[in-house]
Amino acid sequence: MTIKSEPFVVNIGPQHPSTHGVFRLRLTLDGEKIIDADMVMGYLHRSMEKLAEERTYTQNIPFTDRTDYLAAMTGNLAYVMAVEKLMRVEVPERALWLRTIMAELQRIASHAMAVGIFANDCGAWQTPVMHMFRDREKILDLFEMACGARLTLNYMRIGGVSKDIPPEWMPQARKLLKDLPKRFEEYEDLLLNNEIIIARSRGIGTLTPEQATSYSVSGPMLRASGVAWDVRKADPYGAYDKVDFDIAVGRHGDVYDRFVVRVAEMRQSLRILEQALDMIPEGPVHARLGTATVQPWGQPVAPLAYRPPVGEAYARIESPRGELGYYIVSDGSPAPFRFHIRSPSFINLSPLKLMSVGMTVADAIVILGSVDIVVGEVDR
């Protein structure tokens, strides 16, 4: 005979210190053990997909900032790539390199947050987060120099980027690149070898490669499960085919490996950046778009708007959180007919129940932290 306590339901969220936004997790508990987990989302649902159907292609770029607000660059990039695919635009070389550089800087900033917040979820009282913030601030400074914004960047444009980087950008970026490896070493020392973090995250929330693939998991979570899949390598966009880097892959697919993969990816991003800063060519940063696609619309005023041909395009990139895809259907009008975001945060949540049933409340928090969701992107 076993003694069981009465199962009871705990709502983690929508207002809770570690749901990373307004996300709600309904846990049914037997004591501290989770017997059922249900996700409730939509508290940040802004209906972007509907809104985008009434805005021109350029007007939609700011929306993509506001999905994954911790990685606005990659959001921009995926969207403009989808539109470029639809319009068959050839992007100038320098713009491709700039996109690559920005995306990698954004990856470092985003992973730094992920790693720091993960340590916070493990119970380290703010210290790792604050250290990560220090590096992220420096990167945001670079973004500010390039485009004037720090968080919602709106930097990418259909056919290139909004403007070239100022001359003093390069020296500052190089200085940052020189500083970062030392810091990363420190973090790896303090966090990766931390006995308590290892005890808290080893063997928790394990996903096998088969499970991860079947549950459509992508990004660091998929790679932590041992699948070497990185869109940057598998289907290089931007200038990724010209730089040398490795895919970081985990061993056991648990929470700890997701953490390790993110740390390793920050290193790889540094590697890419070091090469990219040397290899970036001079030239225009915006494609010249023919009048065939740029036509006046509406009455009585007639501003110019892109009119992609009828058809559909699906472009996906490797955002810090995983495979970020934009599916755009055009009917020849200046606004997308259908605008769908395949958001990695949202889809990476699908195995949450699988991972957390049988664990304790504390584990559920760590697992949720390891998924690294941004609620803006989950709910869109």
Nearest CA to 315 out of 156, 173, 122 is that of 156
Binding status of residue 37 toward another protein by CB under 8 A: no
Give least dist CB 269 to another protein, A: 13
Torsion of CA 298, 299, 302, 303, to 10 degrees: -50
User: Which residue, 99 or 147, has its beta carbon nearer to another protein?
Assistant: 99
Q: Which stretch binds another protein (CB under 8 A): 9-17, 91-99, 105-113, 146-154?
A: 9-17
Binding status of residue 127 toward another protein by CB under 8 A: yes
Residue with tokens 């990004």: 219
β-pairing, 33-40 with 8-12?
Answer: unpaired
Cα–Cα distance, 194 to 316 (Å, whole number): 35
Rg, the chain, Cα only: 21
Write the interaction track for another protein spanning residues 162-191; mark x where CB under 8 A is met and - where it is not.
--------------------------x---
Q: With beta carbons less than 8 A apart as the criterion, state whether 25 and 365 touch.
A: no
Checking phi first, is residue 241 left (phi over 0); if not, alpha (psi -120 to 50) or beta? alpha
> Rule CB under 8 A: which of 325-344 touch another protein?
325, 327, 329-331, 333-335, 337-338, 340, 342
> Rule CB under 8 A: which of 201-230 touch another protein?
202-203, 206, 208-209, 211, 213-218, 225-230
Q: Which stretch binds another protein (CB under 8 A): 88-96, 116-124, 164-172, 282-290?
A: 116-124
> Rule CB under 8 A: which of 50-69 touch another protein?
50, 53-54
Give least dist CB 213 to another protein, A: 5
Torsion of CA 7, 8, 13, 14, to 10 degrees: 120
User: Which residue, 148 or 298, has its beta carbon nearer to another protein?
Assistant: 298
**Residue 127: Cβ within 10 Å count:** 12
> Rule CB under 8 A: which of 87-106 touch another protein?
none
Write the interaction track for another protein spanning residues 244-263; mark x where CB under 8 A is met and - where it is not.
--xxxxxxxxx--x--xx-x
Binding status of residue 292 toward another protein by CB under 8 A: no
Q: What would the two tokens of residue 107 be?
A: 């990856």
Q: Which stretch binds another protein (CB under 8 A): 101-109, 127-135, 158-166, 173-181?
A: 127-135
Q: What would the two tokens of residue 359 be?
A: 């664990």
Q: With beta carbons less than 8 A apart as the criterion, state whether 348 and 213 touch.
A: no
Nearest CA to 230 out of 320, 345, 126 is that of 320
The partner residues of 329 in beta bridges, in order of sequence, read 312, 338
User: Which residue, 165 or 368, has its beta carbon nearer to another protein?
Assistant: 368
Give least dist CB 141 to another protein, A: 15
Q: What would the two tokens of residue 180 be?
A: 């970062």
Q: Which of 107, 111, 200, 321 binds another protein (CB under 8 A)?
A: 200
User: Which residue, 86 or 285, has its beta carbon nearer to another protein?
Assistant: 86
